Structure 1
Amino acid sequence: MTVDPNAATQGFPSPDPSHRRPRATRYLVPALVAGAVAVVLGVYGKVHDPQGTTFNLVGFSSTGAVKSWLATVSIGFAVVQFVSALMMYGKLPGPGWASVLHRWSGRIAFLVAIPVAVHCLYALGYQTYEPRVLWHSLLGCFFFGAFSAKMLLLRSERLPGWMLPVVGGLVFAALTVVWLTSALWFFRTFGVTT
């Protein structure tokens, strides 16, 4: 009597090890890092005694103006990154160098956002005295956590095709709300000044 090797698997081929599904740790570690970054920033901002100001640049009338313009530059590069991501995923037509544009616009957006975040955390802290400020503080911390997760996920192999666009969308959405609750508010309240 011969045994059919496909009988136990009902004719399905045995799984190829190179096509295994990613383990949950590939998602769990970036999620835990994101949460840790966001919580550490929030706790630091809450327990730190705000210093009032950390920097000002020549040519600007106030620290608020510096922060607002840097945040506007950051969101501008984030919009470029969003559009270039649509090009990379074939949702918009674009040049072959869209991926280079995507990487560099994201790097610049992040680097320009760092002095703004440092000022917010060091000079102002995590504040909750009104809804606009609460959302700004909450989503500012979330942005840096989500950005950390995105950077870790970029190095992971065999991610589902939807993972990076969703995480990137969360990063972009958080930065947009942070800009709306800070720079746009500043420009509408004090005018578009330098």
Structure 2
Amino acid sequence: MTHTRPPVDAPAPPAETVVSRPRPRAEPRDAFRLPLLSFLLAGCAVALVLGVYAAEHEPAGYSLDVPGFSSPLYVKAWLTTAATVFGVVQLLTAARMHDAGARPWTRTLHRWSGRLAVVLTIPVVVHCVYALGFQSGSTRALVHSALGCFFYGVFVTKMLALTRRGLPRWVVPVLGGAVFTSLIALWLTSSLWVFTSSGFRL
């Protein structure tokens, strides 16, 4: 009688060692709130310091004049007008900056138009804060003084937000819109008022 040996199972191939990699830790959806709040507080601090200094210090009543202009009032009016023109350029380029068919220089023009707009307002704010102080003698003057403080506060907030990654896409456009709107309002309450009440000249 023949005995058949039971089949021997072939050894199973060694299982592949699976190395589990730690998953990147996802940031909470509201992780941007604290940085954004700190940026807003910094902007509010800038606006508050400008307003308090302009209101509390004794106005000097004079400022540096620019040759070729009839008065410091018109220096302010034309500098603010030039800043507003660059602000409009920045608004138009912002709408085209992310377009696939935009010109390569669109982004550069956007940045430099914004920089020039702010630089042109610096002599104006120095004159307003140092020479005139915070004006509240009329509704126009009060609104204009408050807008000047708000403009620099929201500008600082926007610049800080530009350096922070991970913010929602709406943050910078909203801040940029606030900067542009306040600049237009400043022009309406200063330059346009000067041109309509005192004449259109240098």
TM over 0.5: yes
Map of 1:72-111 to 2, 5 A cutoff?
72-90=81-99, 94-111=102-119
Specify which of 96, 101, 113 is matched with residue 121 of structure 2: 113
- In 2, the alpha carbon distance for the partners of 1:15 and 1:33 equals 35
Greater shift after overlay, 93-102 or 152-161? 93-102
Q: Which amino acid aligns with 2:200?
A: V
Give the CA deviation at 1:56: 0.8
Q: Which amino acid aligns with 1:80?
A: V
Give the CA deviation at 1:71: 0.5
What secondary structure sits across from 1:54 in the alignment? coil
1:191 maps to what in 2? Answer: 199
Give the CA deviation at 1:141: 0.2
Specify which of 140, 162, 165 is matched with residue 132 of structure 1: 140
> Which protein shows a greater Rg?
2
Is residue 153 from structure 1 mapped to residue 161 from structure 2 by the alignment?
yes
TM-score (norm 2): 0.84
Unaligned runs of 5+ in 1: 1-13
Give the CA deviation at 1:94: 3.4
1:71 maps to what in 2? Answer: 80
1:6 maps to what in 2? Answer: none
Give the CA deviation at 1:24: 1.9
- In 1, the alpha carbon distance for the partners of 2:109 and 2:200 equals 29
Aligned residues, how many?
Answer: 180
Give the CA deviation at 1:144: 0.2
Unaligned runs of 5+ in 2: 1-21
- In 1, the alpha carbon distance for the partners of 2:91 and 2:179 equals 10
- How big is the alpha-carbon RMSD for the aligned residues of Structure 1 and Structure 2? 1.8
Q: Per-residue displacement from partner, 1:110-164 (whole Å, max 9, x unpaired)?
A: 0010000000000111111111111100010000000000000000001111111
Specify which of 27, 31, 42 is matched with residue 40 of structure 2: 31
Percentage of identical aligned residues: 46
Higher helix share: 1
Give the conservation status (yes or no) of the 8 Å contact 2:32–2:166. Answer: no
Q: Which amino acid aligns with 2:134?
A: Y
What secondary structure sits across from 2:73 in the alignment? helix
Is residue 43 from structure 1 mapped to residue 46 from structure 2 by the alignment?
no
Give the CA deviation at 1:19: 5.4
Give the conservation status (yes or no) of the 8 Å contact 2:151–2:179. Answer: yes
What secondary structure sits across from 2:68 in the alignment? coil
